[in-house]
Amino acid sequence: MAGQAAMRVAVIGLGSMGMGAAKSCLAAGLATYGVDPRNSACDELMAAGAVAAGAGGRAFADDLDAVVVLTVNAAQCRDALFGERGIAPHLKPGTPVMVSATISVADAKAIAADLAEAGLTMLDAPVSGGPVKAAAGDMTVMAAGPASVFDALQPVLDAVAGKVYRISETIGDGATVKIIHQLLAGVHIAAGAEAMALAAKAGIPLETMYDVVTHAAGNSWMFENRMRHVVDGDYTPHSMVDIFVKDLGLVTETGLSMQFPLPLATTAYAMFATASQAGYGQLDDSAVIKVFPGITLPGDEPQT
């Protein structure tokens, strides 16, 4: 489409999700820019056909029609927009900013207010789907904001998402839906790890246990995806333990703010936090299984 080809969008945060989103924008014919402090990530995007990429976006900010922020947390999001190299003050008035980091409701509202003060609009638009769906332009977007901002960002949404949920026009509702989703995701990983740890303790081959569960009623997408990593003994980080320390922290904080008990989420948070403190924070989130004592997992040295 000619409109899509003319649109110029910057993706801030070229991690596994952001890189996939940026390449999906390229594949959709959008003029794509990237912002990331890592030279390697910028070089990768440039090799894929980006117009420009660098540690800051000030040099091309006034060329942009839209910005997508896919940082790890709210602090990085705020720094990318308003920090020393922040892009927000240099964007054209009215430029829509799609904030897709997983952040608290309070942070989403505060960032939206600061963007509005700078003359910019925001879509509160967390995403899900992992690196594979990000690379395929098939993420799920759970978004909230004015209809006019949805419309302005439609070419970007078409490029990066397989499904877009228009939750409401209220900033913060997108963040709320993502936090509830992460409750389920984190609990499913923790429960899957507990089940596989019990199988290991009982002497059941983990390949067999995995095959049974993935063909029976106890299966979940998270079990099937993450426990495969355990069976393979491969904890190459796709989504790290520390990501779920952050996300389940947001879940528990949300429950506390409402005085609403979340016993399963609280237990899962404790498991991920324990794994992080034990030195597994930068490993794949399936490494939460390593908190269980007295078992030998694939890839481990046999215990003596």
Active site residues: 178
Alpha-carbon gap, residue 108 to 9, rounded angstroms: 21
Helices 241-257/173-202 angle, 10° precision = 120
183: tokens are 């409750």
Q: Would you call 35 helix, strand, or coil by DSSP?
A: strand
Number of alpha carbons in the 13 Å side-chain half-sphere of residue 178:
32
Alpha-carbon gap, residue 10 to 80, rounded angstroms: 12
Task: Give Rg (Cα) of the chain.
Answer: 20
Q: Name the strand (E) or helix (H) holding 289.
A: none
Alpha-carbon gap, residue 100 to 69, rounded angstroms: 6
Residues of 79-104 as b/e, b for ≥16 C-beta within 10 angstroms? ebbbeeebbbebbeeebbbbbbbbbb
Alpha-carbon gap, residue 206 to 65, rounded angstroms: 50
Q: Note the helical H segments in 32-73.
A: 39-48
Alpha-carbon gap, residue 141 to 267, rounded angstroms: 27
Q: Would you call 91 helix, strand, or coil by DSSP?
A: coil
Residue pair 32/18 in contact (Cβ under 8 Å)? The answer is no
261: tokens are 């008990």
